[in-house]
Amino acid sequence: MKVRDVTVTGAALTPFNRRKDGTGFRDWALSAFEMALERSGLERSDIDALYVASESDFFHLQLNPASVLATEFGLTGVAATRCEGGGASGQVAVHTAARAIQAGAAKHVAVIGVDPSASSLSGDAIRTLYGFSFDAWTDGMTGLTSTALYALSFQAFAAEHGITEADLATVTLQNRSNACHNPGAHLPRRDSPQDIADSPAIASPYRRLHCSPLSDGAAAIILSRTDATPRRRAGAARIAGMGTATDHMHLGARADPGFFTAKQIAMQRACAEAGATPAEIGLAELYDAYAGTQLQSIAALGLSEDVSRDLNNGAFAPTGRCAINLSGGLMGQGAPVGATGVGQTATCALLLEGRYHPSLQPDTLPRYALADTHGGVCTLSAVTILERAEKAA
């Protein structure tokens, strides 16, 4: 079977924040979809299928949200699929949509990620629900929170890799500093290491400022078969490689509870498909649910053999060899769960086209960018490698 090439013809994000303006998830999803569609140069009637990433019906109290959004978007009649993989939901939707094009089942598809993670329920209720992101019958019923599980995994990683609190602070400050240049970011902040140390302890070593926020928002991309891409979108980035993998659901069943094995395998699969190596990745949007999670991800993705050293020599800074989370990441830009993976892909596509927020746009465009998400404590990993077009702006 011939595998078709896939191009990101349209990409857009709404602001990620806590909405207080009376709008709801249907409004954000429509806004992101219409922006992405306009940028794609396509019409509604060109869209063959809709893929919707949303982590939980509990957030918006809507089962079967894909068909609801198809109606909201004026797309009634298209194929509609809801994709869910915990925190990886967005990338799972991107992969499912791209595979449909590759298989010849669609020519142009819309991928929407949306969740009202901040405004629809109390923070305590969301935290309880997140506890069921793990094995709900074992970990989930112990009262073990997401932050506590991540903290335990990080401690194992830190002990092995010599990671310090100063390293956690560097990640925190860098991501939120990047967010200061992103007008759609939830937490654009310029804190000091002392501010971090003074913030409340959530689950040691994590303090509040080490954590990503709960956010509302949506993101959308339009994927097209490359040979059907509108001519004016010749500079759009293409999907070069995708990889997904799972790990043991129970942290304690893993040979190394601090290492994200699923992410390593997913990255190997994506690189094999792209014909690329981790060393060729020049931009990356990583799943920084917590500051230490970003460091664990860097190691598993093969972006560094000495994470602390490279972090501190600026390798992942905006001007470094692999700029990480220019958007601010989950910690700075925000985390409406279903939207995060789609938003990362949109961000990478815009960066590779030279169309991202001007003060975050690198002077030199790399060939490859990486979007990385996971669900659970990297129980399910999904990564996407995007490639710059020859005629990028």
Q: For binding to another protein (CB under 8 A), which residues are involved? A: 22, 61, 135, 137-139, 141-145, 147-149, 151-152, 155-156, 159, 200-206, 250-253, 257
Closest approach, Cβ 142 to another protein, in A, equals 5
Nearest residue (CB) to another protein, 58 versus 180 = 58
Q: Give the DSSP letter of residue 358.
A: G
Nearest residue (CB) to another protein, 252 versus 358 = 252
CA-closest candidate to residue 329, choices 313, 315, 314, 318: 318
Nearest residue (CB) to another protein, 120 versus 308 = 120
d(CA 219, CA 338): 9
Closest approach, Cβ 74 to another protein, in A, equals 23
Phi/psi of residue 294, nearest 5 degrees: -65, -40
H helical segments located in 132-200: 146-161, 165-179, 193-198
Closest approach, Cβ 316 to another protein, in A, equals 26
Closest approach, Cβ 157 to another protein, in A, equals 10
Cis peptide before 205 (omega within 30 of 0): yes
d(CA 337, CA 214): 8
Closest approach, Cβ 144 to another protein, in A, equals 5
Closest approach, Cβ 376 to another protein, in A, equals 12
**Residue 325, token pair as written in the block:** 């989370």
Closest approach, Cβ 131 to another protein, in A, equals 10
Nearest residue (CB) to another protein, 20 versus 231 = 20
Give burial (CB, 10 Å; 0-12/13-18/19+) of 393: exposed
Nearest residue (CB) to another protein, 240 versus 251 = 251
Nearest residue (CB) to another protein, 108 versus 207 = 207
CA-closest candidate to residue 79, choices 52, 55, 54: 52
Nearest residue (CB) to another protein, 208 versus 309 = 208
Mention every residue, 6+ apart, whose C-beta is less than 8 A from residue 301: 263, 264, 267, 278, 281, 284, 286, 370, 372, 383
